[in-house]
A and B are shown apart, each in its own frame.
Chain A
Amino acid sequence: MESVRWRDSIAGYLYLLPALFVLMAFHFIPIFYALYISMFNWRILQGPFVGIANYTAALTNPDFWDSLKVTVYYAGGVVIISIVLSVLIGYALTQRIRGRSIYRLVYFLPYITPVVAAALVFRWIFHAQYGILNYVLGLVGIPAQQWLLEPRGIVELMLLPIGIAPPGWAVGPSLALVSIIIFTVWHSIGFGVVVVMAGLSNIPSEVYDAARIDGAGPWQMMRRITLPLLSPTLFFLMVVSTIGAFQSFSSVYIMTDPVHGGPLGTTRNATMYIFQNFFEFTRLGYASAVAFLLFFVVLGLTLLQVKVIGPRVHYQ
């Protein structure tokens, strides 16, 4: 019997070989290589060993912290707005209404489009001078905005009419960043809607019948039955969206071209910061260090979500 197990084991690994090779060579080992690179002053060629100098440089560089702040604003905005909208739309689409699959198709459509092309279109929509958005807002009395060129924070802008100037830390993400957030929500909403619909369909309809007989009104139904039973799906969306938002690049690259940091660097997220250091300044070692720091932040954030919110998720 042992020989059968050996044969199976060898067979198993043979099947894995192609995938294993790719993952090892380009996904797994490179992590350690990146760690190695990060400890050198690496420009185009490998330079002298510098230990943790790149890390300390990053941690003491306000540009790094700014990029992290931008990323957090971005992730927070995208994740929260997407999930809320996905639940609302997804819930609406699981009611017995006609044309449900057409709606689903429409909402999913943006997700299919290449980010670059779609971002280009939105850049045109957000155009400060000729953009349609300013025109439409003008029709309802809202003054034209600079959108992707606007470095001022959204909180600051909203308080402007009342004449309050919030302190520096409270100005919120720049309007430019908010524009990119709006774009990302538009682009990825379909995914959330479909996932929420799948999660809702997993709730047996008998449970709703029982709740109706037990006397639950629509609000209680939502609060005590639907949302708890949807919580695994929402948890999944939250974790996955956060991880995705921290790796976002294309939208920023396109919508803030050619100054990829955006107005006053307010759209330079962590990925862009790493990219610029790597691609434009060829500081490979430094870029690697920053990438690792980002990795730890994402890891920490995910663990935080799992530990804090995980236990409150109701699994069936």
Chain B
Amino acid sequence: MSGSWMLHVPLVIGAVITLFPFYWMMTTAFKGIEEASAFPPTFWPTQLVWDNFPRAWQAAPFGRYLVNTVFVALGQTFCVVVSACLAAYAFARVPFRGKNIVFMCFLATMMIPIEVLLVPDFIILKTLGWYDTYLALIVPWATSVFAIFLLRQFFLSLPNELWDAAQIDGCGRFGFLWRIAAPMAKPALVTVGLLSFHGAWNALLWPLIATGSSEMRLLQVGLAAFQSDARVQYHLWMAAAALTMAPMLVIFFFAQRYFIEGASRSGIKG
């Protein structure tokens, strides 16, 4: 069908352009310094240098950064999933006074640009003595209104008869959440968890402000600092970039549909 070829050509060109930076990152990461800064550039390393990765890793305390990031990302994910699940359940299935107004207020917080929060949250952290600790990195982001929105949508879609049957079986509200609603919400919870982990892994601005010492740095902040320190060593830049990207790419490879589902659902407004 000639028609479909007309689509494939631009799509393939677009795909090549989209994938090119990854290709270029990897080939540079395997070059020695002279070849990396050679012009005209070579499209494939004439000599594979395996050294860059361990060198980049050791040039800055990336190990520590990694530990910090994993800890913070997991902590944040756990908090978000729990807090969002509880809140979404309340919004979806518990009749309480002022529910709609409170929900509107929650949604309104999504409108607040992060710039407004930088200064006051910083001062609050300092006052609490949380500056440069894990608390500063996790607590302000321990919930996500988008996650609440997603989970609420899911809980609303559960048939009412399910709750009726559970009541007759002697289940309380929390029991229903714990035994029935949350288990049924596993895909949505996984999506929320992955998106939260992804956000924590990628964060730059807030960690930059909330921590000062290099022991508490997260990966992205560390990578940014590395960029400054490793001045013109582009091959090391690329190796370091690849290292910080890798875990996220691996997770994506195994959990693609959750990420894509999460993105699609955000466009379906009530």
Contacts and interface: CB of A to CB of B under 8 A. Distances in A.
Q: Do A and B bind each other?
A: yes
Interface stretch (A11-19, A56-64, A169-177, A208-216): A11-19
A237 interface: yes
Interface residues of B, number: 94
A135 B39 contact: yes
A37 B115 CA distance: 14
A246 B113 CA distance: 8
Contact of A250 (B116, B143, B205, B252): B205
Interface stretch (B46-54, B158-166, B182-190, B261-269): B261-269
Interface string A124-136: 1101011010010
B94 A8 contact: yes
Nearest to A115: B202
Nearest to A113: B245
A37 B120 contact: yes
A198 interface: yes
Given A115-B202, A121-B25, A22 B140 contact: yes
Contacts of A33: 120, 123-124
Interface string B139-152: 11111010010000
Contacts of A73: none
Given A8-B94, A109-B19, A198-B264, A15 B89 contact: yes
A31 interface: yes
A156 to B, nearest CB: 26
Contact of A19 (B113, B139, B143, B244): B143
Nearest to A277: B119
B18 A117 contact: no
Size band of the interface chain A makes with B: 35 or more
A111 B252 CA distance: 10
Interface string A1-43: 0000100111111011111101101111011011001000000
Contacts of A243: 111, 113
The residue in A26, A237, A271, A292 that gathers the most chain B C-beta atoms within 10 A of its C-beta is A26
A112 interface: yes
B170 interface: no
A249 B227 contact: no
A23 B223 contact: no
Contact of B248 (A112, A129, A237, A270): A112
Contacts of A120: 223, 227, 237-238, 240-241
Nearest to A33: B120
A15 B15 contact: no
A181 interface: no
B86 A288 contact: no
Highest count of chain A CB atoms <10 Å: which of B4, B119, B259: B119
A298 interface: yes
B119 A247 contact: no
B89 A121 contact: no
B116 A130 contact: no
B7 interface: yes
A23 B106 contact: yes
Contacts of A147: none
A107 B84 contact: no
B204 A194 contact: no
B21 A186 contact: yes
A292 to B, nearest CB: 6
Nearest to A112: B252
B83 A19 contact: yes
B64 to A, nearest CB: 17
A236 interface: yes
Contacts of A258: 228
Interface in B98-136: 99, 102, 105-106, 109, 111-124
Contacts of B112: 27, 31, 295
B21 A249 contact: no
Interface string B228-264: 1000001001101110110011001000100110011
Interface of B: 4, 7-8, 10-11, 14-15, 17-19, 21-22, 24-25, 28, 36-41, 79, 82-84, 86-87, 89-90, 94-97, 99, 102, 105-106, 109, 111-124, 139-143, 145, 148, 173, 198, 201-202, 204-205, 208-209, 219-220, 223-224, 227-228, 234, 237-238, 240-242, 244-245, 248-249, 252, 256, 259-260, 263-269
22 contacts: A12-B99, A15-B86, A20-B87, A26-B117, A26-B140, A27-B117, A30-B116, A34-B119, A95-B4, A97-B8, A106-B18, A116-B204, A118-B241, A125-B24, A132-B41, A135-B40, A198-B265, A233-B267, A240-B266, A250-B220, A271-B115, A299-B111
Going nearest first, the 9 A-B pairs with the smallest beta carbon separation are: A12-B96, A15-B90, A30-B120, A198-B264, A195-B267, A18-B83, A26-B140, A33-B120, A19-B87
